[in-house]
Amino acid sequence: MGMEKEEASVAEPKKTAETAGRRGDSWRRLLLITCLFSLTLPYVLSRVGWSSTPAWPLGDIVTVDIKAIEIQKKKLLGGLLSPDFDEQSCVSRYQSPSYRKASPFLPSSYLAARLRKYEALHKKCGPNTPLYKKSIELLKLNRSVDHLECNYVIWTPFNGLGNRMLTLASSFLYALLTNRVLLIHETRESIDLFCEPFPGTSWILPSDFPVNLRWITRDSPLIYGNMVKNNTINYSANASAEWVPPYVYLYLMDNYKHFDGLFFCDDDQTYLDKVNWIVVHSDIYFVPGFFLSTRHEDELQRLFPAKDTVFHHLGRYLFHPTNTVWGLVTRYFDSYLAQAGERIGLQIRTFKWPPVSFEEFYKQVMSCALQENLLPNVTNEDGFSLSRSSNVTGSKAVLVVSLYAKYYEEIKSMYYAHPVATGDVISVYQPTHEEKQHTEQHGHNQRALAEIYLLSLVDVLVTSPFSTFGYVSQGLGGLTPWILLPPWREKAADPPCRRVLSMEPCFLNPFRFDCRAKKEADPGSLLQFITHCEDKAIAVKLVN
């Protein structure tokens, strides 16, 4: 009995330990099951739509999303572009950012939102939609209806490609500010230049538009300035019931007069809100005029907190070369410019006024490039060395864009015939030299657009005075170039050039009138962010 009791007493603790061990195993299994359940539950719930918790560890997902977001932001220019396009239909739209440095000038979130809102309006009111057809019927009846759902700005092409791009961007800003739809009158020479900028619709005015857009004379009674001058219209407060024309022409060519310029004033803008169709005839960049009125002051501030980015953003939003033109750009860039350590663009354009000889203007171009250390000088030594490339410090590709071949030939000859003082390797290229401008020729315009884009891809830019071609290139590239100053009395300017204050194009013939004070005024002195241009004393531009 004593032994049995002893065995029993020894066996009891063993049983207790086994039981405790089984309980511990049970707890461990329960804990493991709980852990596994807690890890898999979010995945299960997310699959059935009950939770947005990611199925994979959060850190991995955030890393992947950040990369994807950054890639998408670069591709869409910080929200400037819509993602709702077939990429292959217009390769340049999403490929162009990879050909230039990322722009430090990001669009405001408000501008991005307004562009998406505009795109929805354009899709709703664009060509051949029911609302467009309704507006056309009213136009045929010679009626303008106040508060019509769809109102329009029609852009018509004049002068060279640079002028056209500047006026098109200006017209689009007017459409954006007044909640209108922009349509362009496409002509034979402008086909296959730009991709459609608005998703799911077109900006091309249908060919059966019932108004003749080309044969308008300066003295036409349908021009808005002439209507005001001749008292054809009355925009006083008590004239609300007066007849409003179904369409008017805005004459904003370089030689526009005072009554034409009243378009920029608040009272005139309010009156024009009642007109369903506005047709723009212009060859100048007239964006600064909108900043001189109080009506759009708040909206412009929200759209463009940095005032010197207007064309940079609107140009990169609107102007995407078609695949044909983009092929010209990329083939040339990849063949000649891509491998250079630095790319220098020289945009050389001369006009009948002020007159200057080739020798004088060439001297001015090179004086600018050398004095500002944009290009290295050469030496008078023979340049022969047994040790090849021993003094090479870098490579520079010089892109000469000019109607004439002589500038390219002289620059290339200089660097071919003499050694470079810095040891740099200098390569000089010129895509075309057509001698004369042929805006009426389709092929000429395609090559011109390709050269504008090539200039916008350089690191350093020199442009010619008064040249809209140069203005567009600098704006698209986000560049503040050195601009050649106008020659004086047929001699090269001294100093030869100046660095511009902003990348904004110049309003070459600004409206010299203070709409608020109702008197003549210098537009370059009215606001701190509008100043006179470097190349033309009376012209003004936006600065930040």
Name the pLDDT band for 240 (thresholds 50, 70, 90): low
- pLDDT at site 102: 87
DSSP 336: I
Cα distances from 117 to residues 44, 85, 112, 350, 509, in angstroms, run 38, 16, 9, 42, 32
- pLDDT at site 264: 96
Distance between CA atoms of 139 and 279, rounded to whole angstroms? 13
Instruction: Say which residues have a Cβ less than 8 Å from residue 408's Cβ, sequence separation at least 6.
Output: 400, 402, 428, 429, 430, 433
Which residue blocks in 282-427 are alpha helix, DSSP H?
288-291, 297-303, 310-318, 323-332, 358-371, 406-417
CB 155 within 8 A of CB 214: no
- pLDDT at site 57: 38
CB 249 within 8 A of CB 222: yes
pLDDT at 413 over 60: yes
How does pLDDT run across 115-137, given as a tens digit for each residue?
A: 999 999 999 999 999 999 999 99
Residue 88 CB coordination number (10 Å) = 8
What's this model's pTM, rounded to 2 decimal places?
0.85
Question: Rounded mean pLDDT of the chain?
Answer: 86
pLDDT at 477 over 90: yes
The least confident of 3-12, 370-379, 460-469 is 3-12
Q: What b/e string do you get for 215-238 counting C-beta neighbours within 10 Å, with b at 16 or more?
A: ebeeeeebbbbbbbeeeebebeee
Name the pLDDT band for 69 (thresholds 50, 70, 90): low
How does pLDDT run across 299-340, given as a tens digit for each residue?
A: 999 999 999 999 999 999 999 999 999 999 999 999 999 999
The least confident of 40-44, 126-130, 505-509 is 40-44
CB 459 within 8 A of CB 343: yes
pLDDT at 392 over 90: no
282: region left, alpha or beta (phi > 0 left; psi from -120 to 50 alpha): beta
Give the three-class secondary structure for 491. Answer: strand
- pLDDT at site 29: 53
Tell me which of 284 and 62 has the higher pLDDT.
Answer: 284
Q: What residues does 488 pair with on adjacent strands?
A: 491
Cβ-based burial of 47 (10 A; exposed 0-12, middle 13-18, buried ≥19): exposed
Instruction: Say which residues have a Cβ less than 8 Å from residue 347's Cβ, sequence separation at least 6.
Output: 401, 402, 455, 461, 462, 463, 464, 467, 469, 470, 473
How does pLDDT run across 179-230, given as a tens digit for each residue?
A: 999 999 988 877 899 999 999 999 999 999 999 887 788 889 999 999 999 9
* Highest mean pLDDT of the ranges 185-199, 343-357, 496-510: 496-510
Name the pLDDT band for 382 (thresholds 50, 70, 90): low
Cα distances from 62 to residues 69, 83, 264, 544, in angstroms, run 10, 22, 49, 36
% the chain with pLDDT above 90: 69
Sign of the CA dihedral with 7 first, then 10, 12, and 16 last: negative
Q: What residues does 468 pair with on adjacent strands?
A: none
pLDDT at 403 over 50: yes
If you average pLDDT over residues 246-272, what whole number do you get? 95
Give the three-class secondary structure for 468. Answer: helix
Joined tokens for residue 528: 């701190």
CB 470 within 8 A of CB 349: yes
If you average pLDDT over residues 513-524, what whole number do you get? 92
Distance between CA atoms of 292 and 152, rounded to whole angstroms? 23
Joined tokens for residue 533: 């241009």
Residue carrying the six token digits 């940095």: 306
- Which of 156, 152, 162, 215 has the alpha carbon at shortest distance from 185? 156
If you average pLDDT over residues 263-291, what whole number do you get? 95
Residue carrying the six token digits 């002509």: 187
Joined tokens for residue 314: 């609107």
pLDDT at 33 over 60: no
pLDDT at 48 over 70: no
Give the helix/strand (H/E) hosting 532.
strand 530-532
Name the pLDDT band for 6 (thresholds 50, 70, 90): very low
CB 164 within 8 A of CB 190: yes
- pLDDT at site 52: 34
How does pLDDT run across 338-347, given as a tens digit for each residue?
A: 999 999 999 9
Distance between CA atoms of 114 and 175, rounded to whole angstroms? 12
- Could you give phi then psi for residue 197, rounded to 5 degrees? -90, -15
